[in-house]
Structure formats: structure tokens, C-alpha cells
Homo-oligomer: A and B are copies of this chain.
Amino acid sequence: MCELLGMSANVPTDIRFSFTGLMQRGGRTGPHRDGWGIAFYEARGCRLFHDPQPSAESEVARLVQRYAIKSRIVISHIRRANRGRVCLENTHPFSRELWGRHWVFAHNGQLSGVKRLPLGFYQPIGSTDSEHAFCWLLDHIRARFPQAPRRPQALWHLLHALTVELNQRGVCNFLLSDAQHLYAHCSTQLSWLTRRAPFGQARLMDADMTVDFQEETTADDVVTVVATRPLTDNESWTVLAPGTLTIFRAGELLATLG
């Protein structure tokens, strides 16, 4: 199992607190020693940092922890390799352009036979089943919607139907973003919480660190965090039901399908 972390917020938000907890699982409190990556959206742009090094020892991870990159959407992943060797091109999250937008995808689980699914436009660069599944998803979205649909609900339903197909092939927890929404699919394990006023204290499970969000936020901030397992032990996380696709935008839950 890998560990996923996602964020959707209505204002550019610093993810370092949650990221610090996640990174400990990369070789210190967890067995996920096979690299990590993180994508930060900034308006239409996207920064991607990848490292095949264990996150707890990574120079780039230290930069990300020191450097307050503020973002409305973040997707991060620490990896315990089960398919595909440990190298940069097999490190999540993966990214492609569709409709002039960055799409970013990170997955945990194993998908059986997914590489036999035929691909059209998008081709994997590495050798993971995860990247193959991402290319397959985007191919189908592009085929059905050559341009972004006016009603996003049409896209959500297509994505849910495709996800059902992937889910039949194994474990398919994923986080996906189209630069506007954060899509969280729970196959076996994924939890989330929304922080909003009145903000309180949060205490990381994996590191000796507490943050008082009241000092870090304004009253209007809405920040949702999605993670494989809860990252804090004094807040109330919602466990997603297996087989559901949950859609967030600007920190708010928009829909759950499944």
C-alpha cells in the first residue's frame, strides 16, 4: 500500500503540516521507502516534485517542508513499490495535459491486467499499472469530451463509470485533479475532513507536531484534506465507503457517486 494525500481549498493554503505527517510514513513510521511525489496547483500552473528517494531522507522533501508553497489543490503520494521498479518515471503523481489543463493522478493499490486495456492518445512513460490506468482514463474522457463539458456532472458520471471498471481489476484508491476539482476514489481506504471556522488545534499522529489553525487562517478559509489514513488523532475524519467517487471543489464536498 502507498499513502495518498490530497487537499482542496478555497484560498491558496500551505500544506506543510499534513505533508510533514505524510513524509514520516516514507521510511520512518511507515514502510513506504520507494519514493514520493507532490503536485501543487497555482492557478493554471502546476509544480511537480518527484523523488525516488525515501521521503524521510529526501533533499527535495526537505525543501517542500521548508518552503511555504501555497496552493488550492495538492496531490501527494508516497510509494511502496509493488509493480514497476523504483525510478523517477515510476514515481507518482503522474501528469498530462487535457483541454489546456494540467491533470494529475496518484494511485494506491494493484490493478490486475490493466496493461491490457488498449490506449489511444496517452502513452505511459514509466512501467507502472497506475500510469497505464491514468492514460486509459484520460483517453476515455478525451474521446467522450473533446472539449470540457459545460455541465461538470456529465464528466463526473463518466469518471465514475470508468472507475467502476478499474475497480473490478483490483485495489484502486486514487486522487485525481483537473485543475479545478479534486476527485477521490475509495476502493478500500481513504478518509477526509474539512477544516473551517472556528478553527482549532490539530496534532499529527506520525510526528511530534501540533498546529493551531486559528493562527494560520482567516474566518472564511475552507480546507479539505483527504488521506489514506487519518493524519491527526484529535480531529474527526470521515471514512469513505468503498466504491465511491467523491468530488471536492474549493474545499467543499460537491458530490459522492457510487
Residues of A that sit less than 8 Å from B by CB = 42-50, 59-60, 63, 66-67, 87-91, 96-97, 99-102, 121-126
Contacts and interface: CB of A to CB of B under 8 A. Distances in A.
Given A45-B87, A45-B88, A63-B63, 10 more contacts: A42-B88, A43-B88, A44-B125, A45-B50, A46-B88, A46-B89, A59-B67, A60-B67, A100-B124, A100-B125
A49 B50 CA distance: 10
Copies of this protein, total? 2
A44 B89 contact: yes
A42 B59 CA distance: 17
A42 B125 CA distance: 12
A174 B130 CA distance: 33
Contacts of A88: 42-47
Given A96-B97, A97-B96, A121-B121, A126 B45 contact: yes
B87 A126 contact: no
Leading 3 A-B pairs by shortest Cβ distance: A45-B88, A45-B89, A100-B123
Nearest to A124: B100
